[in-house]
Amino acid sequence: MTSADTNRPTAMRAMVVNKAIAPALPELTAAQEVALLCRCLFAEGYDDHLAGHITYKQPDGTFLVNPFGLTWDEVTASDIMTMDADGNEISGRWTITPAITLHVELHRVRDDIAVAIHNHSRWGTVWADIGRAPEIYDQTGALYHGGVAVYDEYWGTVDDASNAIAVAKAIGEANVGLLANHGVVVLGADIRQAYLRAMSFEWRSRQAWRIATAGGGVPMNRDAARTYGEFFNSHQFTGLFEAMARRELRRDPAVLN
């Protein structure tokens, strides 16, 4: 037994915040949250041209969704569309992608999630094309330690209902899915959790590829990675989304318009 084995962390403590840790964001509408999530994830590598869609379930059973024809780094709050549970447009000035069928089927089988993200991220898609989940090599990559489903068939785009249903079934109870020859799906209970999972999985994917090209390395201790990931699965990462949102607001305050 190594010294690392005898000193494994058995618990982590939630951060106790008695005063502000940074400037607060303005009070955000749900549409503003979606627009900021688009911007934040574009900066992380979710940037395949016009690809990608985010849905955000609302208390009345409707869904907010980014429009089809805008890249994620130009979306503003007023661009966000509203659709019903079947993917039919309710309101908005643009159009909704036909591929939203994937989200419709995901939300039908996963009532526990409010946010579904799909894109062809730079590094996650590499591992989707390889057909396996990347190893965890550091604690940022361990921020999401839950299941990673791999759907290893490609029968066309997910605007086809049968394809979308097959993907949703393959993802099952996992919160990250790799779609072979296609891209990545990330699910979350709210905007902040979805951002954390999407960001950390893209980081994990990039690090694993870099380490592989450098000749290989030693993955993070599995028990430590699990403890770390399970903690952030049940606790918010205080201030993370807010900090990244402030960065986007510095770049372009019009995102909230």
Bridge partners for 186 per DSSP: 117, 176
Q: Which two tokens stand for residue 7?
A: 């000193």
Burial class (CB in 10 A: 0-12, 13-18, 19+), 110: middle
Q: Which two tokens stand for residue 122?
A: 């730079």
Q: Which two tokens stand for residue 140?
A: 């940022």
Bridge partners for 118 per DSSP: 53, 185
106-119: average pLDDT: 96
Would the pLDDT of 123 be above 90? yes
Spatial contact of 202 and 185, defined as CB atoms under 8 Å apart: no
Would the pLDDT of 255 be above 90? yes
Largest CA distance in the chain: 62
Would the pLDDT of 5 be above 60? no
Would the pLDDT of 79 be above 90? yes
Q: Which two tokens stand for residue 50?
A: 């016009």
Bridge partners for 187 per DSSP: 116
Write out pLDDT tens, residues 62-73: 999 999 999 999
Q: What percent of the chain has pLDDT over 70?
A: 91
Q: For residues 238 and 11, give the distance between their C-alpha atoms in angstroms, rounded to a whole number.
A: 18
Q: Which two tokens stand for residue 12?
A: 């982590």
Q: What is the DSSP letter of 245?
A: H
Instruction: Provide the pLDDT for residue 6.
Output: 44
Of 7-16, 68-77, 197-206, the poorest mean pLDDT is in 7-16
Q: What are the domain boundaries of the chain? A: 25-243
Write out pLDDT tens, residues 26-40: 999 999 999 999 999
- The architecture of the domain spanning 25-243 is 3-Layer(aba) Sandwich (3.40)
Q: For residues 196 and 88, give the distance between their C-alpha atoms in angstroms, rounded to a whole number.
A: 29
Write out pLDDT tens, residues 131-168: 999 999 999 999 999 999 999 887 666 667 888 899 99
Q: For residues 192 and 235, give the distance between their C-alpha atoms in angstroms, rounded to a whole number.
A: 11
Q: Specify the residue for token string 């966000």.
A: 80
